[in-house]
Structure 1
Amino acid sequence: MTDAALRPESQVELFTPAGRRVVLDFLFRHEGLAVEIEGYAHHGTREAHRRDVFRFNQVLQCPEARGLLRFTAQDVFHHPDRMISEIRAALLASRWREWSGWAGSSRACPGSGRWLEPERSSTA
């Protein structure tokens, strides 16, 4: 990521509101974007998959992580341009939401050039 001029923090320790500790591979703190790299060697069993699902849900409970991207080791080594492009699109969407006042919303469509209208509550 450094070669692509992206400067996330690495191996970031966060805590859920319930006090559970999680360590992220990468965090773009200002944008609240967590990035996890998964290798099949450590995630290739049913039990590992169950733990990962639980862990990713825990990550999104941390106030610092408002979004999460997951990549495989194959993405990192064989498709780095695609991975970097996805990270940049997510960072751009996060910055747009902050600028537009949609902080915390996931209604943006990064990479598509389209932005969805916010849902309006019907309290008539």
Structure 2
Amino acid sequence: MLVLEAEGFAHHSSRTDRVRDCRRYTELTVWGWAILRFSWEDVMLHPERVRWAIHAWLERRAGRPVPPPPPA
């Protein structure tokens, strides 16, 4: 159970938006979901970081070593 989330500034423009997002994150975690959050910049400009994170999560879940992240 994995959630991928792309974070941008457009949906966190108010305190209410931030509270709602934090509650959703907490509820998903309580129910056993893993959540990988990515910045808009990484999704659009550095997709290799997104691919690495997903691959690393799958490797760790399978009990295999996690590969090193790509250079920043």
Question: Same fold by TM-score, threshold 0.5 exceeded?
Answer: yes
- What residue in structure 2 maps to residue 43 of structure 1? 12
**1:60 Cα offset (Å):** 1.3
1:86 is aligned with what amino acid? A
State the secondary structure of the residue aligned to 2:48.
helix
**1:33 Cα offset (Å):** 2.1
Could you state the TM-score of these two structures normalised by the residue count of structure 1? Answer: 0.47
**1:38 Cα offset (Å):** 1.9
Check conservation: 1:33, 1:91, Cα contact below 8 A.
Answer: no
State the secondary structure of the residue aligned to 2:23.
helix
2:63 is aligned with what amino acid? W
Please give the alpha-carbon distance, in whole angstroms, between the structure 2 residues aligned to 1:89 and 1:75: 16
Query: What is the percent sequence identity of the aligned residues?
Result: 34
Check conservation: 1:33, 1:69, Cα contact below 8 A.
Answer: yes
2:28 is aligned with what amino acid? V
Please give the alpha-carbon distance, in whole angstroms, between the structure 1 residues aligned to 2:46 and 2:21: 22
Q: Deviations over 1:11-60 (max 9, x none)?
A: xxxxxxxxxxxxxxxxxxxxx22211222101232221111111100111
Match of 2:39 among 57, 65, 72: 72
Alignment gaps of 5+ in structure 2: none
More strand by share: 1
More helix by share: 2
What's the C-alpha RMSD, in Å, of the aligned pairs?
2.1
Alignment gaps of 5+ in structure 1: 1-31, 98-108, 113-124
Please give the alpha-carbon distance, in whole angstroms, between the structure 2 residues aligned to 1:95 and 1:33: 14
What count of residue pairs does the alignment treat as equivalent? 68
Please give the alpha-carbon distance, in whole angstroms, between the structure 2 residues aligned to 1:44 and 1:75: 20
Could you state the TM-score of these two structures normalised by the residue count of structure 2? Answer: 0.75
Identify the structure with bigger relative contact order (alpha carbons < 8 Å, sequence gap 6+): 2
